[in-house]
Amino acid sequence: MQVPILKQGAYLIASIQSALEDDDLVRLCDALSTQVGKSRARGVIVDVTALDVMDSFSTRTLVELATIIRLRGAEMVIVGIQPEVAVAVVRLGLKLEGVSTALDLEEGIAYLDGKARSSGKEKNDRG
Amino acid sequence: MLCASGGVSEVTGIVPRTMQSLEWNTGPARKEGPQVRRIDKRMQSSTANPDQNTMAAITSKAWPPAESEKSGTAYALAGVARHRASDESGTVELLRSLAHLLRENRTQLCEEWSRRISGASLLTAMTKEEIFAEAIAVYNNYVDALESGTLEALQAYARSLSERIIPRGVETREVIGIVLLLRDVLARSLFAEYQSDFSMLNRVLDSYEPAANRIANTVAVGFVQERERVIREQQEAIRVLSTPVLQVRERLLILPIIGEIDPQRARQLTEQLLRGIRTNRAKVVVIDITGVPTMDATVANHLVQTVDATRLLGATVIITGLSPEIAQTLVTLGVDLSKMNTVGDLQGGIEEAERLLGYKVVPISELAHAE
């Protein structure tokens, strides 16, 4: 199934609503990495609240996606990981290293806002 | 004497009745006491046709004793049948007369028993009077069980006794010691009684010893079971109490851990922490392990995993109160703690957390001054 990508201000929000096939996930990654340039987004939020399972493929893909998004000049944050999923992922030794996470959508947006503010400050400082 | 204890009257009462009609439970209400009726019921319930069985037993003199050991019913049946088949008195009758004898000497034997309990310095948690009172009750139950061959009443009594004495710190070795002492005291009294008739003494001991061993077994098992139940309850209570997740400020949780962490507790701790983060929408968690004496590799790794899982939920963990020993162990074990945020004590941890959350605590005086 296709994951809708919503634009909210300077951010893109991809809310995964059901279990995803590997292909769907790859398609979502492609769509996000192209959209982020088209819409000049500063941040990407991937909402995984509805997922009960995250396997090694999906975690690795998400880590790759985060790197891609950063290379495209934006920030990515994963929100809504369930406690059970978090435990399972850590047990598997997949730490989602280098990916920012937040509790839920609201937190994710707050996180990106904070990032934007601090980077803005840096620019000002330099300037 | 007969009316009070009913020991002999039961024996003489039951045999003629069965000889007359072989009807076990249809007679008018009897005075002999609960033991007789209990035996009757057991025989009825487990043998579909008691008449046939009894007749068979009567005709064939060689009732296999090995089989009679297998069940209380066959045991009692064999006793009656053997008694009727020959002049040899059966185990049941022997046990009954034994019980009678023991009832007659109850006070004296109980005194002897409680004296030996004190002598062996068992049951030090109880006073002499208490020991004597319990001794009488245990003694009565013991003799009843010896006589009737049924252990249910004794089992129930052992359980209630265990419930009473476990909170007072009575130990398994004491209970077993006491029951064995009673067995010795009673055996000694039997020696004294039958010392003139050696073959009779042999027969008495043959029937007494297995029954007494079974009783000792029942009491000990009852006590241990009760003890295990208490232990299980306590474990459950500790488990529930052991991991409180407390909110100290908006979006700031603390998790004080006290006592040894085993893998099961670590798992439960992770679970509760993650759930707490979810429900309180926490951003920072301070895990205080001041009260943890030691930590092994498994638990340390679990702690690291907990920190990682917490991060996935978007929260930061600060660990406080790492004792020098634990710090040393973790370094020796080579646990990767580079990503762990550690602060010396709980106060420092909370201050660091407040900094992360953007709080600043200032004295009111300074606040007024600034304004």
Q: What are the pLDDT digits (tens) for B32-66?
A: 444 444 444 444 444 444 444 444 444 444 444 44
- Please tell me the distance in Å from B260's CA to the nearest CA on chain A: 22
Chain A residues touching B315 at Cβ < 8 A: 103
Is the CB of residue B43 less than 8 Å from the CB of residue B25?
no
Q: What is the pLDDT of residue A13?
A: 94
Q: What is the pLDDT of residue B152?
A: 81
**Amino acid type, B280:** N
Q: Is the pLDDT of residue B22 over 70?
A: no
Task: Report how far residue B261's alpha carbon sits from residue B267's, in angstroms, rounded to the nearest whole number.
Answer: 10
Tally of structural domains, chain A? 1
pLDDT in tens, A33-57: 998 888 889 999 999 998 888 888 9
Q: What is the pLDDT of residue B56?
A: 43
pLDDT in tens, B266-299: 888 888 899 999 999 999 999 999 888 888 888 8
Contact A79 B314 (CB under 8 A): yes
pLDDT in tens, B141-180: 878 887 777 778 778 888 888 888 877 878 888 888 888 8
Cα–Cα nearest to A32, from A23, A22, A21, A43: A43
Q: Is the pLDDT of residue B368 over 80?
A: no
Q: What is the pLDDT of residue B285?
A: 94
Task: Report how far residue B181's alpha carbon sits from residue B173's, in angstroms, rounded to the nearest whole number.
Answer: 12
Q: Is the pLDDT of residue A83 over 50?
A: yes
Is the CB of residue B316 less than 8 Å from the CB of residue B352?
no
Domains of chain B: 2-88 (no CATH), 100-239 (1.10.490.70), 246-364 (3.30.750.24)
Q: What is the pLDDT of residue A79?
A: 94
Q: Which domain holds residue A116?
A: 5-126
Is the CB of residue B144 less than 8 Å from the CB of residue B191?
no
* Cβ-nearest to B278 among A83, A91, A111: A83
Q: Is the pLDDT of residue B87 over 80?
A: no
More confident residue, B21 or B125: B125
CATH number at residue A91: 3.30.750.24
Q: Is the pLDDT of residue B352 over 80?
A: yes
Contacts of B158 (CB under 8 A, 6+ apart): B218, B219, B222, B223
Chain B residues touching A95 at Cβ < 8 A: 308
Question: Which tokens belong to B337?
Answer: 């703690």
Map residue B248 onto helix, strand or coil.
strand
Cα–Cα nearest to B294, from B337, B327, B249, B334: B327
Long-range pairs for A108-111: beta carbons < 8 A, 24 or more residues apart: A108/A45, A108/A47, A108/A77, A108/A79, A108/B314, A109/A8, A109/A11, A109/A45, A111/A77, A111/B314
pLDDT in tens, B172-231: 888 888 888 888 888 888 888 888 888 888 888 887 888 788 888 888 888 888 888 888
Q: What is the mean pLDDT of residues B356-370?
A: 83
Q: What is the pLDDT of residue B252?
A: 93
Q: What is the pLDDT of residue B89?
A: 52
Chain A residues touching B275 at Cβ < 8 A: 83
Q: What is the mean pLDDT of residues B287-313?
A: 88
Q: Touching check for A79 and chain B: CB below 8 Å? A: yes
Q: Is the pLDDT of residue A21 over 70?
A: yes
Chain B residues touching A83 at Cβ < 8 A: 271, 274-275, 277-278, 309, 313
Here the ipTM equals 0.73
